[in-house]
Amino acid sequence: MVWILDTQDGLISSIVFAKALGYGADVAIAVPPSPPATSPGRSRNMAAIRRRDTVPEKCIRSLLHAQGLRFRVDFPIRIGGARPIRPDVVFTRRQLAVFVDGCYFHGCPEHGRRDGGANAAYWGPKIARNRERDAEQTMLLQSGGWMVMRFWEHEPAAAVAAAVSAGLAAAA
């Protein structure tokens, strides 16, 4: 069991994905308040990372649209009493939810933040919290009968679009 307290959104949650996240059992993680940017340059860089996050999603959506596929963006899915989940691309009829996870904020194995560096005490738990939420949302959607596909933003948009097409065919 891993407990993660995120002081930014005030959430405390328990998870059983300790192994997946690389933690042992009974680990307590606290996400401290956001640190100030270490420098103006660093601040600009962070803003650029956030902006860039949306570019692969746009590419993937364009490719899907070009294939004649129609889907919803920012569509809230409610399952049970949980807070609505908003996947990046949603095919409502086929019940397919697609996420394109940002490498930095979701801890991609190739481009995620390594231990150490400025504000590691903040970003380590923050990214762990994001990954925990990703896993929770995947399981919740699946429990509600949804097919869930998750991709990293670094994956080629054409490959992602092809995989989504194949997923839709399988869901038909």
**Measured CA distances, 92 to 30, 33, 98, 145 (Å):** 36, 37, 11, 12
Residues 107-126 that bind Zn ion (CB under 5 A): 108, 110-111
Q: Which is nearer to Zn ion, 9 or 110 (CB)?
A: 110
* Cα angle, residue 148 at apex, residues 138 and 133 outer, rounded to 5°: 20
Q: Which is nearer to Zn ion, 77 or 107 (CB)?
A: 107
The β-bridge relationship of strands 147-152 and 96-101 is parallel
Q: Which is nearer to Zn ion, 56 or 124 (CB)?
A: 56
Q: Which is nearer to Zn ion, 94 or 111 (CB)?
A: 111
Residues 48-107 that bind Zn ion (CB under 5 A): 103
148 vs 61: CA distance, rounded Å = 16
Residue type, 24: G
CB of 106 to Zn ion, least distance (A): 9
> Number of residues in contact with Zn ion, rule: CB under 5 A?
6
Residues 140-159 that bind Zn ion (CB under 5 A): 152, 154
CB of 134 to Zn ion, least distance (A): 14
Closest CA to 28 of 64, 2, 56: 2
The β-bridge relationship of strands 89-91 and 96-101 is antiparallel
CB of 81 to Zn ion, least distance (A): 34
CB of 109 to Zn ion, least distance (A): 7
Closest CA to 140 of 87, 92, 79: 79
Give the residues lining the site for Zn ion (CB under 5 A): 103, 108, 110-111, 152, 154
